[in-house]
Structure 1
Amino acid sequence: MADKIRVGIVGAGGIAQQVHIPNYKKCGEQVEIVAICDVAVERAEEAARRWSIPHFFKTADEMLEKAELDVVSVCTPNKFHKDATVKALEAGCHVLCEKPPAMTVEEAQAMADAAKKSGKHLSYGFHYRHTSEVDCLKRFIDAGELGEIYAGTAIAVRRRGIPGWGVFTNKELQGGGPLIDIGCHMLDTALYLMGYPEPTMVWGATYQKLGTRKGVGLLGDWDWEHFTVEDMARGMIQFANGATLVIESAFAANVKERDVMNVKLMGDLGGANVFPLEMYQEKHGALIDVTPAYLPEISPYEREIRRWVDACLTGEPPLSTAEQGVKLQRILNGLYESAERGEPVKL
């Protein structure tokens, strides 16, 4: 078991400075953030100064060549995930890449292949897996309390939550809109709780009804004149074990709630609503609802980074794996392909 890991950060934007860097810092002497890079090198320099990071660079190539690293966090737009990840793995580093894995299935597979060849960990930033609700429900599921889970729903819907910053509305850099951005969080959470079953077929539909016109922005004003992604996606996934999952994701929709992120599951012995956590069963001749009286209050981002650091130190597998990333990417791209073709797609 290693005593300490040396970390490099690729990308000095919001997710790096709000999540990765501060939570690596919370790991104390077990982690040293050695370097950061960004194509906008002045941003990397500013972040290095703010967080007392010794070295900053313009490119990942330069950082990997000049800095001695054990671990790399990839915090770039989706388009650049694959190249930065593969380069870091080939340089002998474990990699935590932000979600989604990549732009295409081929890219996600190349990342997984590089991880396997290097013998290093590749994990993804699906922080909802690390919530207390998911932790608790997973224990109930593993104990057989829900039985065979055969149906589920993943929901990631905002009333008017188109991001007014970053590149979230740029298809060329992101690969899509709410489905690949927030929808993938709830999709991964559902798949994780269901045991990551093998997908066989998807049906998807996407809509661009609200994003291309000026409107009320609850997350800032977005560039509606250059909005190139969907503002809503819906679909269904069928799995080899017979289970099905419905997904609904939107940056903007005419609904009551400002923001809903949730997963609902149904098994033959029980069902569950994840956020907030409730379980539904039939026992001893009665229909019962089970609600935890207490769940630990902890930041899922902090827990995610802590568990990732522990995996890198001990060599134990991370909670989110490269192989799961490929499976999730197949579903995402399959849904987009189905929407474009107007028919179900076999995976």
Structure 2
Amino acid sequence: MTDVLRIGMIGAGGIARDAHLTNYQKCGDRVEIVAVADVVKETAEACAEMFSIPRVFTDYQEMLEQVELDAVSVCTPNKFHAPATIAALKAGCHVLCEKPPAMTAEEADEMAQAAEEAGKILTYGFHYRHAPEVEVLKRFVDAGELGDVYASRVHALRRRGIPGWGVFTNKELQGGGPLIDIGVHMLDTALYLMSYPEPELVLGSTYQKLGNRKGVGVMGEWDWENFSIEDMARGMIRFQNGATLILETAFAANVDQLQEMNVTLMGDEGGADLFPLTIYQEKHETLVNLTPAHLPDINYHEREIQRFVDSCLTGTPPLSTPRQGVLLQRLINAFYQSAETGEPVKLS
């Protein structure tokens, strides 16, 4: 077991710089960032200069062959998650791959198999799992405070929050829109709180009503003329244990708030809203609301990176596992399949 984790970056865009590299640097002498690869040479060079990274590549395969690495962050567009992750695992690296796991469930399964065969850690960038609210609510759920959680609601909604940068509106590179980008965060969080129950049926609908026309944007001006993704997705999951989950996610919708990211749980002994955390119960013939008096102010990405480094250095299991990634990708793909066919998709 190494004392210093030698890190390589695959992808040098905004998420690599702002969420990964900035927080790797906070790990001090436990981490050495030794190489970065990006298909755009200028992007890789600018990133290397910003973070004092000694080796620069435009081909991650060359980086994996020429540089001795212990771990890799994969921060590419979604289309390249699977090949980059599998290549890094086969090269003997632990991998932190940004969300979503992949473009298809088959790719996610290949990634999980590669991690198992290599005996290396593979985890995903679901940074909301590291939120104090999630950690507290998870303890309450696991202790039975909510009883049988039989219903959940997931919101990941923006009023006019279509990203005006990157490839977020390119279906070929991303696989979809808000469902696979922000919806996947809250969906994963809900499933994590519910201990990832096995799904039985998915019914979904997608819409393209606002993104393909010029309009006001609060996250920059997007390319509305080449908008190839959904701007809203809605649907339901029924699980084998009888529980159900309702999902609503949008980059652009005519709603009140500019952004809402939330999970609601309902059980037979209590319920909860996640952000802000409030637990609803009936105690001593009284309906009561329970709220934390204090929660630590924590950067979710910072804690995610710290825990990934800990897992790599100590062998402790990561919070997000490859097999959970496979199940989550199956659900995402089932939503899109149902939306395309107009029929529910059976998963068991």
TM-score scaled by length of structure 1: 0.99
State the partner residue of 1:7.
7
State the partner residue of 1:104.
104
What is the SS of the residue equivalent to 2:260? strand
> What are the Cα deviations for residues 122-176 of structure 1, in whole angstroms up to 9, with x where unaligned?
0000000001110111111111111111100010000000000000000000000
Give the C-alpha shift of residue 200 in structure 1.
1.2
Note if 1:330 corresponds to 2:330: yes
* Paired residues, number: 347
Q: CA separation in 1, counterparts of 2:199 and 2:280? A: 26
Gap regions ≥5 residues in structure 2: none
Q: CA separation in 1, counterparts of 2:109 and 2:87? A: 14
Give the C-alpha shift of residue 327 in structure 1.
0.3
What is the SS of the residue equivalent to 1:88? helix
Q: Percent identity?
A: 68
What is the SS of the residue equivalent to 1:246? strand
Give the C-alpha shift of residue 54 in structure 1.
1.1
State the partner residue of 1:17.
17
> What are the Cα deviations for residues 5-37 of structure 1, in whole angstroms up to 9, with x where unaligned?
100000000000001001011000001111000
Q: CA separation in 2, counterparts of 1:121 and 1:35? A: 19
> What are the Cα deviations for residues 55-97 of structure 1, in whole angstroms up to 9, with x where unaligned?
1101110100111100000000000000000000000100000
> What are the Cα deviations for residues 277-315 of structure 1, in whole angstroms up to 9, with x where unaligned?
000001111111000000000100101111111111111
Q: CA separation in 2, counterparts of 1:258 and 1:43? A: 31
Q: CA separation in 2, counterparts of 1:29 and 1:147? A: 44
Give the C-alpha shift of residue 248 in structure 1.
0.3
State the partner residue of 2:237.
237
The residue correspondences of 1:106-255 to structure 2 (distance < 5 A) are 106-255=106-255
Note if 1:32 corresponds to 2:32: yes
State the partner residue of 2:269.
269
Note if 1:61 corresponds to 2:61: yes
Amino acid at match of 1:7: I
What is the SS of the residue equivalent to 1:257? coil
Following superposition, which runs of at least 4 residues in structure 1 exceed 3 angstroms of deviation? Answer: none
Matched-pair contact (CA < 8 Å) for 1:102–1:329: yes
Matched-pair contact (CA < 8 Å) for 1:2–1:314: no
Q: CA separation in 1, counterparts of 2:150 and 2:51? A: 47
State the partner residue of 1:257.
257
State the partner residue of 1:284.
284
Q: CA separation in 2, counterparts of 1:138 and 1:313? A: 26
Q: CA separation in 2, counterparts of 1:274 and 1:2? A: 38
Amino acid at match of 2:285: G
Gap regions ≥5 residues in structure 1: none
Amino acid at match of 1:283: K
Give the C-alpha shift of residue 2 in structure 1.
3.5
Q: CA separation in 2, counterparts of 1:204 and 1:98? A: 24
What is the SS of the residue equivalent to 2:230? coil
Q: CA separation in 2, counterparts of 1:239 and 1:206? A: 21
Matched-pair contact (CA < 8 Å) for 1:163–1:219: yes
State the partner residue of 2:294.
294
State the partner residue of 1:312.
312
Give the C-alpha shift of residue 230 in structure 1.
0.3
Note if 1:51 corresponds to 2:56: no
Matched-pair contact (CA < 8 Å) for 1:201–1:239: yes
Q: CA separation in 1, counterparts of 2:305 and 2:150? A: 31
